[in-house]
Copies of this chain bind each other. A is one copy, B any other.
Amino acid sequence: MDLALGIDIGGTSTKVALVDTKGAIVERDTFGTQRIENADHYLTHLLYTVANLFRRLEREFHLVGIGVGAPSCNEAAGTIEGAANLPFGDHFPIVSRLREQYELPVYLIKDSSAALLGESAYGAAIGVPDFILLTLGTGLGCAIMANGRLIRGASGMAGELGHVPVSGNLRECGCGKRGCLETYVSAVGLKRTVLALQAEDLTPSQLRTYTYDQLDARHISRAAMQGDLLARRAFERTGEVLGQKLAELVSVLEPQAIVLAGGMAEAGQLLIEPLQRHMEKALLGFHQNRVQILTSSLAPNDAALLGAASLVWNSHQPVSLS
């Protein structure tokens, strides 16, 4: 049996899986990334976890290659560079380190691009040649497929939507600027909106019992589902900001679909309904009512893992580094 090793490196955990040619996960495991001190320490954890996967798989198999999805990566150089939530330092040459270890082709791809390939190959966007993927997590990730191919850009840095400005330019962003889309559209952005609405409105809300530090996106989703007006207003505002920005992207790219993935996408219609309404309102007539808004159809957070592994079977992709 031919297998690919998929690795999805995130700020809180790393997921690894052995995946067959059809995208079925044969074995999988996860380890926490938060208490890891440096790149060497990380690699020890990773190799140990992978060795365990191999051991658990009792059949004979042939490992064909390794696909890695990661934030802040320089795909061309095969390195992870200055990732905010990972203790890798300025420069972690993960591709060469894994190649030394396994003597196999290793492919590195940005996490949001990996998720796009996962949705395209096995998820909500099978056979859709033009779509936009948004990963709504702690931050906002984006990747774009056009003419059936991932848009990488000149050096693999395309798909940066989190730091485009929204009108008003009020909220401070971790990047040093103000008013970035991510300060509104992300789990943290949603929380900031709840705080802003508590200041603006006097509407009673169960969310007024949480401190900023306690509050997370799940509290807000749950409150909204229970009818909490302030929580609903927070989704309305998030949908408005995102919908207006997506209208611009739709005008420029005319995709068939927009796929929402990541934790916040689980809010479903709470987010999609206002998003779609505001997006349609901002579009010119000939672009209206044509774009589908979908949510990931893969198990939560499996898109990037499967997309990274899929690089092994599609090594003609320009993102390969073999």
Residues of B within 8 A of A165 (CB): 167, 244, 248, 282
* Cα A220 to Cα B29 with chains together (Å): 65
- Does A163 interact with chain B (Cβ within 8 Å)? yes
- Does A256 interact with chain B (Cβ within 8 Å)? yes
Residues of B within 8 A of A57 (CB): none
* Cα A248 to Cα B159 with chains together (Å): 10
Interface residues on A, range: 35 or more
- Does A228 interact with chain B (Cβ within 8 Å)? no
B157–A255 CB distance below 8 A: no
Q: How far is the CB of A75 from chain B (nearest CB, A)?
A: 12
Tell me what chain A mostly uses at the interface: helix, strand, loop, or mixed: loop
Choice from B156, B158, B284 contacting A252 with Cβ under 8 Å: B158
Residues of B within 8 A of A284 (CB): 160, 163, 175
Encoded as 1 (CB less than 8 Å from any B CB) or 0, chain A from 263 to 293 comes to 0000000000000000000101011001100
Which 4 A-B pairs have CB atoms at the shortest separation, nearest pair first? A153-B254, A158-B254, A160-B251, A164-B248
User: What would 10 more interface pairs be, CB under 8 Å, given A159-B252, A163-B251?
Assistant: A144-B253, A146-B149, A147-B151, A153-B254, A159-B254, A161-B251, A164-B252, A165-B244, A248-B248, A249-B252
